[in-house]
Amino acid sequence: MKFFYSSIIAVIFLLSIFDLIVGLINDAVNFLNSAIGSKVASRKTIMIFASLGILLGAFLSSGMMEVARKGVFDPSYFYFSDIIFIFLSVMISDIILLDIFNTLGLPTSTTVSMVFCLLGGAFSIAMIKISSPSSNEPFHHLNLYIKTEKTLTISIGIFLSIIISFISGAFIHYFIRFLLSFDYKDKLKYAGIIWTAISLSCMTYFLIVKGLYSTFEGSTNDHLTVFSLFIINFIKWIHNNFFIFFITLFLIWLILAKIFVFLGYNILKFVVLYGTFSLAMAFAGNDLVNFIGVPIAGIQSYKIWKEAGSPPAEKFNMKSLSGNVQVPSLILVFSGIIMILTLWFSKKTKNITSTEINLSRQNEGPEKFLSNSFSRGIVRFFLLFGNYFFQFIPKRILVKIEKNFKQKKEKNVAFDLVRASANLTISSILISIATVQKLPLSTTFVTFMVSMGTSLSDRAWDRESAVYRISGVLKVIRGWFLTGLMAFTIAGITASFLYFFKAWALYSFLFLIIFVFYKSYKTYHKKIKEEKPFLDIIENLTLENTLNKSFDIINQIFEYIEEIYKNSIEGITQENLKTLQHSRSTFLKVKKKFLNIQSTLIQVIKKTKNSNSTVGIFYLHIYNKTKEIIESSDIITNHTLFHVKNSHKPLKYQQKKNLITLENLMIEHFYIVRKITTDRNYKKIQFPCEVQNKILKKIEEQMNQQVMGITYKKYGEKNTFLMMDLLLQSKKIAESVEEIILLLYNKNNKSLKMIHHL
């Protein structure tokens, strides 16, 4: 068994590296978004500042390690084997959970994941011990194993950060924007340097001074150098003379800001870069425990067990783990280096970053989330409340406010430097306070909700986008709550399997981790591959490129539409519910793909110049005809599924026969378009299309038969409406397909004159 436990320690060490990677991918959004969204500098420069912050924060993070070892459960009530299984279950569960969220592109909290994984693993093992036949412990002894009060405090603190961060971001930034306005460059000489001095003073005080204090706190004088003693005494003086120190700090930054402005430099750029460094430092100082706290605790547990002479693991009490243990600085720096390398070389960080920027951006663009009834209700409530509230404010004051909040949208920038500086300043202060108080605050919750609060103050959530943005925020928050539930459940199940099946469970979970990583890798690259054609259209806006990429998109969508139509007809004629459900599911995927065309439409038209105006015209018509086909497919899949699902009377024999004939003709029509777009051979296109004439003729015959059937009371009401929907929508699809063929035909002559006649 000695080899088994040493193997577990080796596995935990390897998993800690993976945990650092997936955790950094998820949390990079916290300190990169403001700089990237405002495009304060090149991505390389932003990464350098963030890397320096991570390295310094990692070195100063040892004070937070207590949470992983004894913050959630009491080690004195567990044996060595129990502790090792808990820690291993936490590592396995955390990696799987974070990788799933990373692949979905949703930011989640590594703090919540770690705390609830620890809670789930400890709860599971405690329940097994209490409920075992050899134990006479009552159930209420569970609170001896689990630090219920401490866990509840941590949980409340984490989730309260959602409300506090949002309110802080909204209110503080409202006054900042009121003072500086969107046209802030002229105000940098006065209000701008005051805000800059306040911002830099706050970040300097909380991150540098408090960070150093957290590092040296609790150290004995025997282990301190002269320099360390000087810093501790200096910090104590600051605590006793806070106002003198802060005013001095403010005046220093004020003078420096004034010099920068006088030299013509945009001082807010420095604030954002300094804030990126500060927030990265706070992230490493506060969140490093989430990645290496558990592995270090596992290694410490193994060391305690080995020093005791390797007694039976199932009987060796881990009370010694409750003592204070100093974490080697070398491990912290090594962890920081791994995170920095991940930051520079991982492409998944961009996937996570896009979610927050999309929800907080000031400019127009595609919305990533759909609206729902709850978000629509919230918007309506605040519209009514706003109309009522502003009746009591004098018009003169409202005009003054509106003048300062008149938006000045910058090209290709999600938001300006004023909001970016507010995001970083407010987030840094909140996270740093939590770090000093040794509260495992979620940096993801804080930075995300501060960003949402500042975007609300900036009126980025206007009537055009509010329902989508609120829906997106609610979806992200729902994911955060699910993180806690999923972490608790997965870790609990994992710990139970490890407790009972030991080596077999370990091998199975390692295989599961490899499988999850493989699937997420495939899913991520498939998503990138699907989005690339639409990005290429915008980036390389030429007639030739737009046409070719449009053909690729059409070909891809038509493959699905052909499958949908075929399954819908076969499903309704055979009354096969499973086939119809599959058809509907496939359609929803196609609809999602079509949103990519819709999201690029306005951008393509806006980028169109007089010299290539045909690009925008062509893309508009492709969009329009594809939309008509999508809408018709929506009706067909929905109505056929509804008919069979509600057990309505089946179609008559002649109706089924007619639909199968129509299906064959439609499939032939789809094939012609796909053949053209695949081969790029437009010379063989002939008008009018023979197949289309057959389709229209067949639909006309079937509609006449349906009318005759109704006259002689052969067909019922449900039957009639279903057949009419199928025939009319098939006709619309056939006509749209024919018009797409005509659009493609014009490509052969490099001219789009005929498009205007459609």
> Does the pLDDT of residue 494 top 90, yes or no?
yes
Mean pLDDT of 470-479: 82
User: What pLDDT, on the 0 to 100 scale, is given for residue 124?
Assistant: 92
User: What pLDDT, on the 0 to 100 scale, is given for residue 489?
Assistant: 92
As given in the structure block, the two tokens for residue 643 are 């008919």
Residue 594 or 417, more confident: 417
pLDDT band of residue 251 (cuts 50, 70, 90) is: very high
Give the separation between CA 700 and CA 728, rounded to whole angstroms: 10
> Does the pLDDT of residue 220 top 60, yes or no?
no
**pTM for this entry:** 0.73
CATH topology for 540-757?
A: Methane Monooxygenase Hydroxylase; Chain G, domain 1 (1.20.58)
| pLDDT tens for each residue of 626-635 | 888 888 999 9
User: What pLDDT, on the 0 to 100 scale, is given for residue 135?
Assistant: 73
> Does the pLDDT of residue 756 top 50, yes or no?
no
User: What pLDDT, on the 0 to 100 scale, is given for residue 681?
Assistant: 62
User: What pLDDT, on the 0 to 100 scale, is given for residue 311?
Assistant: 85
User: What pLDDT, on the 0 to 100 scale, is given for residue 61?
Assistant: 63
User: What pLDDT, on the 0 to 100 scale, is given for residue 34?
Assistant: 83
> Does the pLDDT of residue 63 top 80, yes or no?
no
> Does the pLDDT of residue 287 top 70, yes or no?
no
> Does the pLDDT of residue 753 top 50, yes or no?
no
> Does the pLDDT of residue 610 top 60, yes or no?
no
Least confident of 33-42, 340-349, 681-690: 681-690
In a 10 Å sphere around its CB, with 0-12 CB exposed, 13-18 middle and 19+ buried, how is residue 536 labelled?
middle
In 3-state terms, what secondary structure has residue 79? Answer: strand
> Does the pLDDT of residue 545 top 70, yes or no?
no
The segment with the largest mean pLDDT, out of 493-507, 555-569, 610-624, is 493-507
Written as one letter, the residue type at 513 is: I
> Does the pLDDT of residue 534 top 50, yes or no?
no
In contact, 32 and 414? CB cutoff 8 Å:
no
Show the DSSP H helices in 458-576 as ranges: 466-501, 503-539, 543-574
CB atoms within 10 A of CB 629: 25
Residue 277 or 617, more confident: 277
Mean pLDDT of 605-622: 64
User: What pLDDT, on the 0 to 100 scale, is given for residue 535?
Assistant: 46
User: What pLDDT, on the 0 to 100 scale, is given for residue 208?
Assistant: 67
In contact, 88 and 8? CB cutoff 8 Å:
yes
User: What pLDDT, on the 0 to 100 scale, is given for residue 596?
Assistant: 63
For 753, which DSSP code? G
Least confident of 79-93, 223-237, 685-699: 223-237
Look-up of token digits 């925020």: 473
In contact, 145 and 98? CB cutoff 8 Å:
no
Look-up of token digits 């929905």: 638
As given in the structure block, the two tokens for residue 626 are 């594809």
In contact, 275 and 428? CB cutoff 8 Å:
yes
> Does the pLDDT of residue 227 top 70, yes or no?
no
| pLDDT tens for each residue of 90-149 | 889 988 888 887 777 677 777 788 888 888 998 999 898 888 877 777 777 788 888 777
Ramachandran category for residue 317: left, alpha or beta (phi over 0 → left; psi -120 to 50 → alpha): beta
As given in the structure block, the two tokens for residue 512 are 């599961």
pLDDT band of residue 410 (cuts 50, 70, 90) is: low
> Does the pLDDT of residue 740 top 90, yes or no?
no
Least confident of 99-108, 360-369, 382-391, 476-485: 360-369
Give the separation between CA 433 and CA 439, rounded to whole angstroms: 9
Q: Is the peptide bond between 688 and the residue preceding it cis, with omega within 30 degrees of 0?
A: yes
pLDDT band of residue 538 (cuts 50, 70, 90) is: very low
In contact, 283 and 51? CB cutoff 8 Å:
no
Rg for the chain (alpha carbons), in Å?
Answer: 31
Residue 56 or 679, more confident: 56
Mean pLDDT of 13-20: 84
pLDDT band of residue 238 (cuts 50, 70, 90) is: confident
User: What pLDDT, on the 0 to 100 scale, is given for residue 304?
Assistant: 86
| pLDDT tens for each residue of 710-721 | 777 777 788 888
Give the separation between CA 290 and CA 23, rounded to whole angstroms: 8
Domain assignments of the chain as residue spans, ordered by start: 2-357+372-527, 540-757
To the nearest whole percent, how much of the chain has pLDDT over 70?
A: 77
User: What pLDDT, on the 0 to 100 scale, is given for residue 155?
Assistant: 76
Give the separation between CA 580 and CA 3, rounded to whole angstroms: 55
In contact, 31 and 108? CB cutoff 8 Å:
no
> Does the pLDDT of residue 325 top 90, yes or no?
no
Residue 352 or 729, more confident: 729
Give the separation between CA 98 and CA 102, rounded to whole angstroms: 6
User: What pLDDT, on the 0 to 100 scale, is given for residue 492?
Assistant: 92
Alpha carbon dihedral 429, 434, 437, 438, in 10-degree steps, equals: -140
As given in the structure block, the two tokens for residue 427 are 């987030």
Residue 548 or 266, more confident: 266
